[in-house]
Every structure is written in structure tokens, then in C-alpha cells.
Structure 1
Amino acid sequence: MLKVRTALQCLAILCTSLFAGGIFVFPLLAPAFMEHLNLTQRQLSTIALAAMAGQYPFSSFVGMLIDRYGPRFCSFLAAITFSSAFGLSALEVSSASERPDSPNTAIAQRLTLYFAMAGLGTILSYFSFVFSASKTFTRYHSFASGLTMSMFGLSPLFLSYIASNIFSDPSTGTIDVTRFLQFLAVCTGVIHLFGAFTLTVPSATTIVSPSDRPDEESHLIGRDTHTDCTSDPRDGSTVELLRDPNFWILALYMITVLGACEMVISNVGTIVLSLPTNVAQRSEQSAAFQVKILSISNTVSRLLVGPLADFISPVFSYERPKGLTTVRKHRMNRMVFMLGASLLQALASSWMVFGAQNRDDVLWLSIGTAITYGVVFTVLPGVTCSIWGMRNLARNFGIITYSPFIGTTLYSYLYAVVVDQHSHEGTVCEGKVCWEATFIVCLVTSTGALAMSVVLWRNWAGRA
């Protein structure tokens, strides 16, 4: 019976993670919204921003729900939120006139609300399957969480494949947005309801069998983490967390790096559309290709960096007699991955400022952004656990993820303002001038993030 429950739980983790990334296929929807609803770039950026930023305002609250009620409750809430958001969006698009004469502000405002709801559903789903996996398979904590994050990174590729091959017109390549949103409303609701019944967290007696060998590794990883955490001096209140100056350095790093990444993820469709191409290439195809590249690069980076970080930078646990300790030798500070991510973002921004000339060149921006995004989110839980302990990991992780919420807002509106300044009324902005200033700012801030990662590397020497 236990094996059956575990198998169903693994199936639920897989399914919910693959269907949780609906907001990340917005670049596929943006051209249709622009064409059929006559929305402006600023309105599109606002909708995309609402989807991305909607993940973050309640992240610490969702973390506390996970710690207190478990992942099943959050999966149930995700089912309701996803179905409502995508269902109402489909209804909004289907009931709108085909080509309104002027930008429809009311439609844009309602879509902004619906995609913000989808963002909330994303964080509810994300926390439910990540912490269900990591708290169940405690012997393989980092591998379990890293693998589920990788599946989540694969979600945009999976959903874009469905959209391009099932819900698009073969002759024109245009996606039937209404039918695709209806599909998301039904499938995300059903799958997360399934998760609400199966995403359990076993008790300590279930996780650790009495027949387990009492070797050093099983003692450190397989034991009841709640018992260990009660004496961990790193466990502190929210006030103590906010008093740590290193927390604010990390938060500023997250604002600059992840804010810029999510700006690119949300607007890569219009970035591609602004550049010329040497071959006949439809905008929907260009956007779909970039979404696939983002998803593949994000997934591969998480799959590679997760095990590598576990091997060279194992997470510090607390043992009462020994203090901070690790199962394997700690060879390198995890901040080296954060440093590499900010360096890669600086290179990608430099490429857009000095190198990109046509649509094909955006490929390197998508790859660099996706790898940066995947590396930071893969390494961040381990850094958070090593520095501030396991007991309040979900809460602390949720608080830190407020930073991308701020960053996404700042960078997305910067992008929208620059585009609007160089757009003629009723036309799509064309040329590098649409976003060149935005990526100059990204280059400067990513260089600053590089310096911040060096500071944290020195401050957390021997701890991260």
C-alpha cells in the first residue's frame, strides 16, 4: 500500500509540475492579443508582469501554509485558482470583438487580474510539488527538489508543444488562444485536484525504516528533521532574518538578476518581433521557438547544476554535538554558482547591446537568460537552508522570493516605457532602439550583482 501511495505521489508531482508553467507561454499569446484585441505594448507588459509578479506577493504566506497544512491544501487552492484564471481569460477573449477600433482598456484590466490569479496559482503549485518531494524523499533531498524544479522548467516547452501542434492553424501557424486557454483551465484544475489527494508528506517513521543501516549518511539525512531543527541555532524569527545584512545583499542580488530574467521571459516574443529576419518567418513561430529554447535551457541547467551543487557544495545540517556539518566534503561555496549566473547575464545583455542584429540572434539571449534563471533558483534553496536552517525553510524561501517581485515590476515597466517611447501609434515598435536602453541598464545592474555575489561569497565562507 505504501508503494502504491508513493507511486501515485510521484505521478502527481510529475503532472502538476508539467502543467504549472502556463504563465510562461504568454509570449505565444501576446501576438494574438496584440492583433485581435488591439492591446498596446504597455498593456501587454502589464498583463505579463501581473502573471510573473503574481507568484510573489503571497509566497511567504504560501510557505507557512506548506509548513503548517502540507502540500495537499496548496494543490487544492492551485486547482481553483488556475481553473478560474484560465477559464475567465478564455471567456474574455472569446467574447471580445474580433478587431476593436481602439485599445480596449477594460479587457486589458480584466486580463491583468486573471493572469495575476494564474501567477498565484503557479506559486501554490510550485511550493506544493517541490516541498512534497523534498520532505518525502529526505535521503535525496536536493536531488528530489532539483528534479521537480527541472520538470517545472520543462513545463513551458511541454505546453508550447501542445499549443503549437494541437491548437494552431497549420496553414498560418496562428494559435487558437480561446481553445488553448480552455484546455489549460480544465487540465490544470483536474491535475491539481489529483495532487490534492496524493501529495502527502510521510511521517518520520515512514521515511526512516527501522531496518535502515545506522551509518553516518543515514544519520545525517534520514533522521527526523523536525527533531534536529529544534536545537539548530540558525532557526530564528522573521525579525531576526530581516536584521541580517547579508539577507538584504542577497535580496538586492535577486532583484537585479531575476527581475531582468523574468522581464526577458515575459517579453521575448515582442523582442523577436522588433527585429528583421532574412527569411519568411511568422511572428508566432518565432515566439514559439524562443519559448522552447527558454524551457530547454532552463531545464538542462537545473538538471546539471543541481547534482553538481550537491556534490561540491552539500547543504549544511546541524548536529548537536558537532555543530554545522555535511555528509560529504564541502569543496566550494555555493555562491560561485550565483557569481556565474550574474556573469552570464552580463554577457547576454552585452550581446543584445553590441551584437544582436536579427531575430536569429535573440537565441543567445534566451539561452543565457534561461540558464541564469535556472541556476539561481536551483541553488537558492540550498543557500537558504545552509545559512538560515531547515525548520523555516519554506517561510524563508518565500520571503526571499519577494525580491524578484520587485525586480520584475521595475524591469518590465522599464521595457514597456522604452518601447512606447519609440513606437508610432497603431504600429509595432521596430529595431534595436525598442529595447537597447533596457539592456544597457541590465548590463550595469548585472555587473553590480556580480560584485554582490563576491561579497556574499566572502561573508559566507565555510557556511554556504
Structure 2
Amino acid sequence: MLSTTLQCIAIFSTSLFAGGVFVFPLLAPALMEHLGLTQPQLSTIALAGLAGQYPFSSIVGKLIDRYGPRVCSFLAAIMFSAAFGLSSLEISLAPEYSERPNTAVAQRLTIYFAMAGLGTVLSYFSFVFSATKTFTRYLTIASGVTMSLFGLSPLLLSSIASNFFSDATTGSLDVTRFLQFLAVATGVVHLAGAYALTVPSTTTTLPRLLDNEHPAECATDPRDGSAVDLLRDPNFWLLALYMIMVLGSCEMIIANVGTIVLSLPATLVQSLATEQSASLQVKILSISNTISRLLVGPLADFVSPVFSYQRLEGFTTIRKHRMSRIVFLSGAASLLALTCTWMLFSVQTRHDVWLLSVGTGITYGAVFTVLPGVTCSIWGIRNLARNFGVITYSPFIGTTLYSYVYALIVARHTPEGMACQGRICWESTFYFCLGTSLASLGITAILWRNWSGRT
């Protein structure tokens, strides 16, 4: 009982301190103003933090499946402390108010935020799969709750930044001190997680946990295949393409919402402080992301329980299966399309951007919450972390693609030596996102048909 309590505390604390890369919109205005970094440079740094989560995700998944979450939490502590500590040192040593774009500083910050991205995936896999492989009976609730706590991380960290590391008069953020705080706090929390995050010591399969009367050895589950088998499945590539388009769009928005806000005029009742505007959007994203995960997880487990395989009965669920989990993916794609439509036809001032943050947060949270359950139902639980890791290569591609689309369009409309102003900075980007979100909705219709009765 004590070990389970410590495990829950560790899951809670590591998830709340794992989202440091998502508060980059708070740092971007200061880096642009004081270090003279350009929008493409800022987008590259932000992209490194977001996309850095994905290149090693399958390897991290294998580490989880073979050695458990403790090793990954320990490695996350090293990555986070080094990344944020070196970033703080780099910014403190850089000359302020440079007239030329500081290319060397931008390159080194890109490397450090890529390290933070790797720390994020190490941390994410450690607490998510510590929960899902321990509380297997309610897999989606376990993943939804842990992911919702992760979704709260930017809210917590941005609140800390606003209350303890920002000037009370101007609202400007002391970036150096805030990054020093992140280096220490994330390191300590994840070192504690390396002690407390566990999974059951004996390898127990999902069917055995669900129904002791009909045990089934893992080897009897026909879904347990190699990574090559996974890549041979055409539906895997359809799901990957969906994630490229939906999660790529969402992470592009998450990384650049600060500069999107900056491009628009403020209303009379709105603060002119750029840092405060960016901080508000980060908080809205975090809250909507969290609420989405908290609601979608229990709902998905209730209406679409995960399929297990039992040797005597075949594919079964512990509760009545009412509808496919693909419904949630379709809903996410539809909401993203509506959000892009709002940006294209309704947004005029900074005040209007809040709905972009809400729609993006809900979409992002819903997709990631149902994804482990979809993966488990289609490809089994034995290699769940590995399969999840392989699938999450697709957002890496999507985030890279969409971030550079955004950055290049902004650069094309930016006068030399000035920041881009007006809807023209991002309008073409959101037309592109609208088209791809509608295409992703079409993909869910195909998956719904192909996976009928299995998700």
C-alpha cells in the first residue's frame, strides 16, 4: 500500500513538472526583444523542444517495456537539468539588445531545447506507463488522469513564472532565473520518480487482470507482433497520417501562440504587455488540455472499453462496448477544423485568440488520451509502450512541417528589423491547417470502417 501511495505521488509530481518545453511562448518575446532572435530562429528553438520528444520515442518505449519507468525518470532528470541549466547560462552570457540576429546563441538554444524535448518523452513515458501498466483495468482513465496532470504542467509553470519571476509593474519575465528554477525543480522531482515509479513485478496480462476465470497467456494474443508487423499494417500508416496533420497543427500553434498574439492589436481593456498576453494563452491551453483529458478518459473507458484477448472467448471487453474510439478522433479533427475557421474569419484582436487556445488544447488532449487505448485494442498490451512510441514518430514529422510552414510565411511578411504585424502573418498557415484537418476527418472515416468491432 505504501509503495502504491509513493507511486501515485511520484506520478503526480513528475507529470506536473514535465511540461517545461510548453512554456516557450513565455520566453519567446524576451528572446526576440533582448537577444534579437528572428521568428525562424524562435520557431526552430520551439520546434526542437516539441519535436525533440519524438525521435527516440520507440527506444524509450522499449526501455519502459523491458526495464520499467525508473530508468527513464532518472534519465529525464539528467536531460531536464542539463537543458534548462545550460539555456539559462547561455542567455545570461549573451549580449542584450543585439542589432544582428544572434545565430550562435540560437543554435545552442536549439540543442538545449532538443535535450529538454528528450527529457519530456522520457518523463512522459515513465509516468503514463507506470500508471497504465499498474491500473490496467481502467487503462484509459489511468492514461487520461496522468496526461491531464501533464496538461496542467504549463499552467503550473507559467503561474510560477508570473508570480515569482516576473516584474510586477511591467510583467516582463526574468528568463534566466526562471530557467534556473526549472533546472533544479525538474531534476529533483524526476530523481525522486526514479525511486518511486514502478510497475507490477510480475508480468501480468490485461486479460488475466480483467477476468481471472479465463486466464490467457500473452503468447496467445494474435495482436502481439514485432515492430515490422506493425509497420506492415496499412491502418498504422493511416493513423500516423492523421496524427501528422492533427497533432502537427496543434503543436505548431502551442509553440507559436505567443507570436500569433503579438501580431494582433490589443483592445483598450487589454494589457499591452506581451508577456502577459502570452502567459494568458499558455494558461488557457493548459486548462483546456487538462479538462479534455479528464473528461475524455473516463468517457472513453465507459462507452468504448479496451478490447482484451482471451484464449477461450477471443476479443472481449469487461463492459458493454457502445461505440468506437474513433469517434473521439473524428471529434478532435472536427474541432480543429472549426478552430481554424474561427481564426480565418473571426479573429481581429488579441482578445479573440482565446478560442484558438481552447480548441487546440481540447483537440491535443483528446487525441493523446484515447491513443493508448486505440493502440492497445488493435495491437495488444505486451508491446504497448513500444507501439505507442513508434506511432508518436508521426507528430515529430507533423510538428516539423507545420512549424516551418508557419515560420516561412511569417518571415515572408516581416519587414527587415521589425516584428510581423497583422493577420497576414498567419492567415495562409491556418488555411493550410483547415484543409489538412478536413483531410484527417476523412481518414477517421476509413479507420472507423476498417476497425469496426475492434476499437
Query: Shorter-chain TM-score: which interval?
Result: over 0.9
> Which of 317, 334, 338 is the aligned partner of 1:343?
334
Quote the residue 1:295 is aligned against: 286
Residues 264, 369 of structure 1: 8 Å contact kept: yes
Matched with 2:301 is 310
Contact 1:71–1:131 at 8 Å: present in 2 too?
A: yes
Provide the C-alpha distance between the structure 2 equivalents of 1:355 and 1:335, rounded to a whole number of angstroms.
30
2:427 is aligned to: 436
CA distance in 1, matches of 2:207, 2:222: 22
Q: What SS is found at the alignment partner of 1:321?
A: coil
Letter of the structure 1 residue corresponding to residue 18 of structure 2? A
> d(CA) in 1 for partners of 2:378 and 2:281?
36
Aligned counterpart for 1:187 among listed residues 178, 185, 188: 185
C-alpha displacement of 1:60? 0.3
1:236 aligns with 2:194: no
Runs (5+) with no aligned partner, structure 1: 209-216
Q: 2:257 maps to which residue?
A: 268
CA distance in 1, matches of 2:215, 2:424: 54
The alignment partner of 2:372 has SS state of helix
The structure 2 residue matched to 1:12, chosen from 4, 7, 10, is 10
Alpha-carbon distance in structure 2 between the residues aligned to 1:302 and 1:226: 31
Q: 2:129 aligns with which of 123, 128, 131?
A: 131
Choose from 246, 262, 266 the match for 1:277.
Answer: 266
Cα gap change, 1:222 to 1:80, in 2 (>3 Å): farther
Report if the CA contact (8 A) 2:207-2:310 is conserved.
Answer: no
Aligned match of 2:70: 72
Aligned runs of 1:216-231 on 2, under 5 Å?
220-221=209-210, 228-231=217-220
Aligned to 1:38: 36
Tell me: CA distance 1:227–1:92, structure 2 relative to 1, closer, same or farther (3 Å).
farther
Do 1:220 and 1:317's aligned partners in 2 also have CA atoms closer than 8 Å?
no
Tell whether the 8 Å contact from 2:10 to 2:192 is kept in structure 1 after alignment. yes
The corresponding residue for 1:91 is: 89
Amino acid at match of 2:120: T
The residue number in structure 2 matching 1:212 is none
- Quick one: which amino acid aligns to residue 299 of structure 2? L
**CA-atom RMSD in angstroms:** 1.7
CA offsets, 1:136-171, max 9 Å, x none?
223333222211111000000000000000000101
Distance 1:340 1:99, change over 3 A: same
Q: C-alpha deviations, 1:374-429, integer Å up to 9, x for none?
A: 00000111000001111111010000000000000000000000000000111110
Q: Give yes or no for contact 1:12–1:198 (8 Å, CA) kept in 2.
A: yes
Q: Which amino acid aligns with 2:264?
A: L
Match in the other structure for 1:105:
103
Name 1:177's counterpart in structure 2. Answer: 175
Paired residues in the alignment total 453
Unaligned stretches of 5+ in structure 2?
none
CA contact 1:204–1:223 (8 Å) conserved in 2: no
Task: Give the counterpart letter for 2:67 in structure 1.
Answer: Y
Instruction: Look up the match of 2:242.
Output: 253
Letter in 2 for 1:364: L
| 1:355 matched to 2:355 | no
Q: Tell me if the contact between 1:254 and 1:407 (Cα under 8 Å) persists in the aligned partners.
A: yes
Q: Which of these residues, 456, 459, 462, is aligned with residue 447 of structure 2?
A: 456
| Partner of residue 157 from structure 2, selected from 156, 159, 163 | 159
- 8 Å CA contact 1:139–1:222 kept in 2: the answer is no
**Partner of residue 29 from structure 1, selected from 27, 30, 47:** 27
Cα shift at 1:230: 1.8
**Alignment partner, residue 82 of structure 1:** 80
Given candidates 329, 332, 355, the residue that maps to 1:364 is: 355
Task: Indicate if the aligned counterparts of 1:228 and 1:318 stay in contact, CA closer than 8 A.
Answer: no
Runs of 4+ aligned structure 1 residues displaced above 3 Å come to 217-220, 222-228
Deviations 1:225-264 (A, max 9, x none): 9964221001111111111111111110000000000000
Change (3 A) 1:329 1:69: same
Q: Match for 2:115 among 114, 117, 124? A: 117
Cα displacement (A) at 1:222: 6.8
- Normalising by structure 1, report the TM-score: 0.95
- Give the secondary structure class of the aligned counterpart of 1:89: helix
Identity over aligned pairs, percent: 70
1:390 partner SS: coil
Change (3 A) 1:392 1:226: farther
Question: Which one-letter code corresponds to 2:9 in the other structure?
Answer: L
Does the residue aligned with 1:324 lie in a helix, a strand or coil? strand
